[in-house]
Amino acid sequence: MQNNAELAYRRLRERLVAGKYEPGQRLTELGICDDLGMSRTPVREALRRLQSDGLVASTGRGVVVNSLSQDDIRHALELHGALDTLAARLAARAQHEGRLSPRQLADFRQAGDRMADLATTGDAQGVWEANLVFHQCLTHLSGNPLLEEASERIWDRFAIVSRTNIAHRSDLTPVGHRAIVEAIVAGDVEQAAAAAAEHVREATAMYIHDSTLP
């Protein structure tokens, strides 16, 4: 059974990643206690851990939800790109060696298709969530739990600002997902890595452009 501090940490982290709190919003211990229905001691410990994770920052009078500077965003996307490229390479190798099941591949393809379907409806929140699922599927197919963990930490930090960004995009069409899926299904290691790297390059250019618009 989880102790109260761990439970507070997980619940608050989920709320931050889900966009319940806005970037720059000030959070107080009492407010969070009311929100979570928990006492101050586990909430205080949860906030310390979340500060170490980079999701909140101390102000001396509570904490604020962390945002990311343009440099922070570039750094996060560079690391995300490296992790996704490695994940695609490992997943394609696993497929080439017959270690991926038809169900795993079908779920991965479905994750990519769902984002494209939601984009046609203009559902920005749905697209964001589907994109997260797609990349979670990709890192899971890599078979490397440390890679999955590292990717999750980057996504969590990026989630707070990326939700706001995608909500203001005029074009939600996913870039490069289909090429990644097809290369992995074909078991083509080099093509999968190249497709993942290109996807992140294009997504980064789109994100930085949208983030600098007035």
Which residue in this structure is represented by tokens 């290109």?
198
**pLDDT at residue number 116:** 83
What class, spelled out in words, does domain 70-211 have in CATH? mainly alpha
- Distance of alpha carbon 163 from alpha carbon 160, whole angstroms: 6
Burial of residue 172 (CB within 10 Å: 0-12, 13-18, 19+) is buried
When mean pLDDT is compared across 52-56, 79-83, 160-164, 208-212, the lowest value belongs to 208-212
The confidence band for 1, taking pLDDT boundaries of 50, 70 and 90, is very low
- Mean pLDDT of the residues in the chain: 86
Of 127, 201, 111, residue with least CA distance to 170: 127
Look up residue 38 and give its amino acid.
M
> What does the block give as tokens for 176?
């490069």
Query: What number of residues does the chain have?
Result: 214
**pLDDT at residue number 125:** 79
Residues forming beta bridges with residue 64, ordered by sequence position: 26, 57
- In this prediction, residues 179-187 reach a mean pLDDT of 97
Q: Is 39 helix (H, G, I), strand (E, B) or coil?
A: coil
| In the chain, domain spans | 4-65, 70-211
> What does the block give as tokens for 73?
């965003």
What's the CATH fold of domain 4-65? Arc Repressor Mutant, subunit A (1.10.10)
Residue, of 195 and 209, whose pLDDT is higher: 195
Question: Euclidean distance between the first and final Cα of the chain, in Å?
Answer: 48
> What does the block give as tokens for 146?
């440390």
**pLDDT at residue number 157:** 81
Residue, of 204 and 154, whose pLDDT is higher: 154
Q: Render pLDDT for 4-54 as a digit per residue (tens, 0 to 9).
A: 999 999 999 988 887 788 888 999 999 999 999 999 999 999 999 999 888
> What does the block give as tokens for 90?
């490992």
- Distance of alpha carbon 200 from alpha carbon 28, whole angstroms: 36
Assess whether the region 4-65 and the region 70-211 belong to the same CATH fold: no
Q: Render pLDDT for 110-154 as a digit per residue (tens, 0 to 9).
A: 998 998 888 888 787 788 888 889 999 999 999 999 999 999 888
- Distance of alpha carbon 80 from alpha carbon 117, whole angstroms: 24
Which residue in this structure is represented by tokens 């980057």?
154
